[in-house]
Amino acid sequence: MTTLNDCRAMDADDPLRQLRDLFTLPEGVTYLDGNSLGPLPRATAARVAKAIESEWGEGLIRSWNSAGWFELPRRVGDRIAAWIGAGEGEVVATDTTSINLYKVLSAALSIQAEDAPGKRVVLSERSNFPTDLYIAQALCEDRGFTLKLLEPEQIEGELAKGEAAVLMLTHVNYRTGAMHDMAALTALAHRHGALAVWDLAHSVGAVPVDLRGAQADFAVGCGYKYLNGGPGAPAFAWVNSRHADRFRQPLAGWWGHAAPFEFTPEYRPAPGIVRYLCGTQPVLSLTALDCGLDAIDTSRAAGGMAALRRKSLALTDLFIALAEERCAGHGLSLVTPRDHARRGSQVCLSRTEGAYAIVQALIARGVIGDFRAPDILRFGFTPLYLRFEDVWNAAEHLREVLQDGEWRRPEFNRQHAVT
Ligand SMILES: *Cc1c(COP(=O)(O)O)cnc(C)c1O
């Protein structure tokens, strides 16, 4: 049996323990929802205040040049590239994950319409995040493709039919925390003439990602989850350099033009990834995202992604063990894979009755996780700022909420708009 003292000893040995100080975490809160909205880095408020008061207030329009505003989507993109196995000049930080997915999927369909006109199917997973499926549905309808939704074990067989133009997957499943083998599935897609589009929303900053190594074609991801860029932070888009000068940007705005300040009436796409920009970018939000990257980049001195991943697996292993030891007999089932190679940075438990109310009761106790319909309790474990003692506390609160039936209280059973 694991004890609280074991957890404290793990914290004392943790090479990443000092990184917690980079974040503002409210007293009495155990934050297990950094996979949905990362916490506030301590440096962000002052940095954004400076962007407002000095860069905007004093510099005014000159700051597009003098404060580097114009370069921000590329500069922040290069910093993200280092966390996903991409090269410099291959990533831009811009727009939302939904919008970027629209752009990259559209580009992939255009390439395939030329190279493989007989392939008219887009494959994805039924359990993919809904916005990804909605975007794909709309695009497929507009462009004369068919979207086929599969269970993971059907992917190989469907690809083998040779009808798929694109395999569009989310690397780590938002609901279950299950992680795909990106290199293997990309190779499989390529063998059957399909392009591979990956959504890294629950991967970037959380698990090792090697887009170039996997030879993936396109990727998108999120800035407000494990990158701690703040609510609604810009997302990002990546394209493999072999497609970089070929793809068509469906939202061909002036920021993606080769020379936006020539103000010519004809669109001429910028070389490479820059053509993925559409219009004027949110400078204040990009500045906050830059601070989120400062925080995660600080982990490099203590081992970077290898150290983060090691701790993330230790945190999720510990939570699984504690939930099974201390909450046994309360009807919880583990949804997240035990196999490390197939696990993201979260643990999901299911319970046929009361999953929503249990999460509400935990939140009332300061343990913030979330509920995902219909029956999932989701706990994100972010190695940048969580302690092993936090995992202990979370499991203890879960045990108490279940043991005393506290979750049955009416206030925990009222549904809120955002779960
Ligand atoms: C969080 C998430 C999104 C979010 O998309 P937005 O456009 O930022 O709302 C999209 N896809 C996946 C897989 C996600 O996990």
pLDDT digits (tens, 9 = 90+) for 94-148: 999 999 999 999 999 999 999 999 999 999 999 999 999 999 999 999 999 999 9
Q: What's the average model confidence in pLDDT over 319-339?
A: 97
Of 303, 326, 134, 101, give the one whose Cα is nearest residue 219.
101
Quick: pLDDT tens for 368-418: 999 999 999 999 999 999 999 999 999 999 999 999 899 999 999 998 888
Q: Which of 31, 145, 218, 224 is catalytic?
A: 224
Asked whether 110 lines ligand 1 (CB < 6 A), one says no
* Terminal CA-CA length for the chain: 33
The answer to pTM > 0.85 is yes
Q: Could you confirm whether 129 is annotated as catalytic?
A: yes
Protein residue with least CA distance to atom 5, ligand 1 = 97
Q: Could you confirm whether 225 is annotated as catalytic?
A: yes
Phi, psi of 51 (to 5 degrees): -60, -35
H/E stretch holding 235:
strand 235-239
Rounded-to-10 torsion of CA 16, 21, 25, 31: 0
Asked whether 370 lines ligand 1 (CB < 6 A), one says no
**Separation of CA 381 and ligand 1 centre (Å):** 18
Residues of the chain with CATH 3.40.640.10: 47-297
Protein residue with least CA distance to atom 15, ligand 1 = 201
Residues of the chain with CATH 3.90.1150.10: 4-31+303-412
The CATH number of domain 4-31+303-412, selected from 3.90.1150.10, 3.20.20.80, 3.40.50.720, 3.40.50.300: 3.90.1150.10
Q: Is 237 helix (H, G, I), strand (E, B) or coil?
A: strand
Mutation test residue for ligand 1: of 222, 225, 227, 228, the one with most atoms within 8 Å of CB: 222
Q: CA 416, 417, 419 angle in degrees (round to 5)?
A: 70
Domain 47-297, classified CATH 3.40.640.10, yes or no? yes
Q: Could you confirm whether 224 is annotated as catalytic?
A: yes
**Per-residue pLDDT band at 247 (split at 50, 70, 90):** confident
CA-CA distance, 236 to 304, in Å (whole number)? 21
H/E stretch holding 247:
none
**Per-residue pLDDT band at 246 (split at 50, 70, 90):** confident
CA-CA distance, 151 to 128, in Å (whole number)? 10
Quick: pLDDT tens for 48-92: 999 999 999 999 999 999 999 999 999 999 999 999 999 999 999
Helix axes 130-143, 97-115, angle to 10 degrees: 40
What number of H helices and E strands is found in the chain? 13, 15
Mutation test residue for ligand 1: of 131, 133, 170, 372, the one with most atoms within 8 Å of CB: 131
Contacts for 110 with CB less than 8 Å, ≥ 6 apart: 247, 248
Q: Could you confirm whether 381 is annotated as catalytic?
A: no
